[in-house]
Amino acid sequence: METVQRLTDSILSLDCNDRRLERFENLFPLPDGVSYNSYYIDDEKTAIVDTVDSSVTLQFLENVKYALNGRDLDFLIVNHMEPDHCANIVELAKLYPNMKLVGNAQTFAFFEQFYPSADLTANYYPVKNGDQLSLGQHELNFVFAPMVHWPEVMFSYESTEKILFSADAFGTFGALNGNLFTDETDYENLYGDECRRYYTNIVGKYGPQVKRALKKASKLDIAMIAPLHGPVWRSNIDYILDRYMKWATYTPEKAGVVIPYASAYGNTASAVDYLANRLSEQGVKDIRIFDVSKTDASYIIANIFKYSHVVFAAPTYNLNLFPAMKSFLDEMAILEIKNRQFAVIGNGTWSPTSTKEMIEFFDTQKGWTNLGDTITLKTAMVDDEKAQFDVLAKAIADSVKATEID
Ligand code: FEO
């Protein structure tokens, strides 16, 4: 059955949900599924904005057929060539051979790389940044947004109904639950954290480019933002734009402490809990502790984007930093997170090297400020080491309290 919903009198959502996929891009867990959104504009000329992932092809084609209601498809706008959105271009071209494929030079280059055996060159309808396409009553304006999330990405702004088709931007993990618009959901509880986890892990590396795209978007009169994942924004638009500006500039949302740790036998974990208790006594609220061996890195990354301070704690393993922490730091480095204060706790039974390795790692990272008072344990924490933890807790708590959040 079709799963089509109405954005406006003449624009439909053709969204499809996948609640079975284990990991997005085979990397990020999807406990609440994901939606792949596509939009249909009904006018003198017909247009679809982006397609969907191959896992939901049958549902998508049913939705397309329902939306077109016997009409031909004139244009397919390709705002993003990642396979979760472009996987049905060839399918649509088979059904609607006259359809023009609207994209830029990189869109078509990527299309040919992903689908080398499909020749749609006769269908190409190349556009440049700032170009317009009239469908009749509706007019699409193409605003290039490179690296949000790939280089070919563009936004399509429909100026009659003031709808920004924003590709991956402003989307979220989490399938749709019937409610198409964010203001029909308990957004903060249902999507708030997943929207951050989606942004920070998928686009987090490209803060400067996102900032540029936000600047372009701020010049548009936007009544609705229609992303490629998750619900559509038709109210509270400043809220999501502000959130994006914070993330794009690596500005913490809250003064607080995240503690990612690794622990082979529980001794480093115990020391982390001891520190967290002292932090709480010092007035630090909403402390977040994660075992990097267990919790998927994407959740920890999202929390590091959210909070101002981070304490990394890990033992030594085979004379090196514990592998799970090393892997976590490598993943974090790829995303180029910055503007955070941090402290380090190392551990080791005979030749502890983890403290040194973590400090050396942060020497290579931009925008990380070491609060000092580094601690190195020799296996289990003992009473004589409590004073060091008290000093570290006070230094962190003082710094947290001094952090100003807009
Ligand atoms: Fe939803 Fe970058 O693809």
**What residue owns the CA closest to ligand 1's atom 3?**
82
Answer whether 82's CB lies under 8 Å from 150's CB. yes
Q: CA-to-CA distance for 266 and 270, rounded, in angstroms? A: 6
Q: Are residues 294 and 239 in the same domain?
A: no
Rounded distance from Cα 175 to ligand 1 centre (Å): 15
pLDDT in tens, 137-187: 999 999 999 999 999 999 999 999 999 999 999 999 999 999 999 999 999
398 vs 392: CA distance, rounded Å:
10
Q: Say which CATH number the domain at 76 has.
A: 3.60.15.10
Inside any domain, residue 153? yes
**What's the domain range around 125?**
5-248
Cα-to-centroid distance, 127 and ligand 1 (Å): 21
Residues 303 and 229 in one domain: no
Question: Per residue in 12-67, pLDDT tens?
Answer: 999 999 999 999 999 999 999 999 999 999 999 999 999 999 999 999 999 999 99
Number of Cα atoms under 13 Å in the Cβ half of residue 170? 28
Domain boundary among the residues 248, 276, 309 is at 248
CA separation (Å) from 49 to 38, 56, 163? Answer: 6, 16, 12
Interval 67-118: pLDDT, tens: 999 999 999 999 999 999 999 999 999 999 999 999 999 999 999 999 999 9
Ligand 1 atom at minimal distance to the Cα of residue 153: 2
**How many angstroms is it from 119 CA to the middle of ligand 1?**
23
Atom of ligand 1 nearest to the CA of 36: 1
On whether residue 137 sits in a domain, the answer given is: yes
> Tell me: the pLDDT tens digits for 320-347?
999 999 999 999 999 999 999 999 999 9
**Ligand 1 contact via 149 beta carbon (within 6 Å):** yes
Residue nearest to atom 1 of ligand 1 (CA): 168
With pLDDT > 70 as the criterion, what percentage of the chain qualifies? 100
Q: Are residues 66 and 124 in the same domain?
A: yes
Question: Which of 201, 229, 248 finishes a domain?
Answer: 248
Q: Residue 364's pLDDT is what? A: 96
Q: Say if residue 107 is in the same domain as residue 80.
A: yes
Question: Number of folded domains in the chain?
Answer: 2
**Statement to judge: residues 182 and 276 lie in one domain:** no
Same domain, 276 and 318: yes
Cα(52) to ligand 1 centroid in Å equals 10
Instruction: Out of 248, 280, 299, pick the residue that ends a domain.
Output: 248
From the number of C-beta atoms within 10 Å of its C-beta (0-12, 13-18, 19+), residue 173 rates as: buried
Nearest to 53 by CA among 191, 195, 228: 228
**Within a domain: 406:** no
Q: What is the DSSP string of 151-178?
A: TT-EEEEETTTTEEE-TTTT--SB---S
Ligand 1 centre distance from Cα of residue 347 (Å) = 40
Binding site membership of 84 for ligand 1 (Cβ less than 6 Å): yes
The token pair at 28 is 């990020």
Q: Please determine, for residue 406, whether its predicted confidence score (pLDDT) is greater than 90.
A: no
CATH code for position 361: 3.40.50.360
